[in-house]
Amino acid sequence: MVSQRHDVTLEWPDADRETRTIAVDEDETVLEAAERSGIALPFGCRTGACGTCTGRLLEADGAEPTAADDERTVDVDGAFSYRRSPRALKDRHRTAGYVLLCIASPRTDCRLAVGANVHTELVENPWK
């Protein structure tokens, strides 16, 4: 069986880096495809436990999320499959569009916000 590939566009909202689009096989993770393409993304455990690799879904298969009654219209669970349970994300994080790139494989073309600042959207600074 031949694996499908999907175009995944990576955007760094916290930096003046260019946007990059990579081809990701359905049987590889976004982090693996980024590394294969020479793109450095933050990561820690590679098992979905730490959340360092968190990205935020901006668009899937041409549909951008809209905030109607605080619910997103882009189906994150339909856009990605996980190799194992994404332990670092709570249900509310997944509903809000967050994805663990170290264990997530795309099921459609999509656009993601990536970088260290995306992870800090989930975790409050303990030093405040």
Buried b (16+ CB within 10 A) or exposed e, 20-52: eebebbeebbbbbbbeeeeeebbbeebebbbbb
Most confident of 30-34, 71-75, 115-119, 121-125: 30-34
DSSP string, 17-64: PPPEEEEEETTS-HHHHHHHTT-----SSSSSSS-TTEEEEEEETTB-
What radius of gyration do the chain's Cα atoms show? Answer: 14
Name the pLDDT band for 82 (thresholds 50, 70, 90): very high
Share of the chain above pLDDT 90, in %: 67
Q: Is the CB of residue 57 less than 8 Å from the CB of residue 97?
A: yes
**pLDDT, mean of residues 59-73:** 64
Residue appearing with tokens 């989930």: 122
Given the candidates 3.90.960.10, 3.20.20.80, 3.30.450.20, 3.10.20.30, the CATH classification of the domain at 5-124 is: 3.10.20.30
14-18, 62-66, 68-72, 93-97: which range is least confident on average?
Answer: 68-72
Q: Is the CB of residue 97 less than 8 Å from the CB of residue 64?
A: no
Name the pLDDT band for 122 (thresholds 50, 70, 90): confident
Predicted local confidence at residue 68, as pLDDT: 52
Predicted local confidence at residue 69, as pLDDT: 45
Predicted local confidence at residue 53, as pLDDT: 96
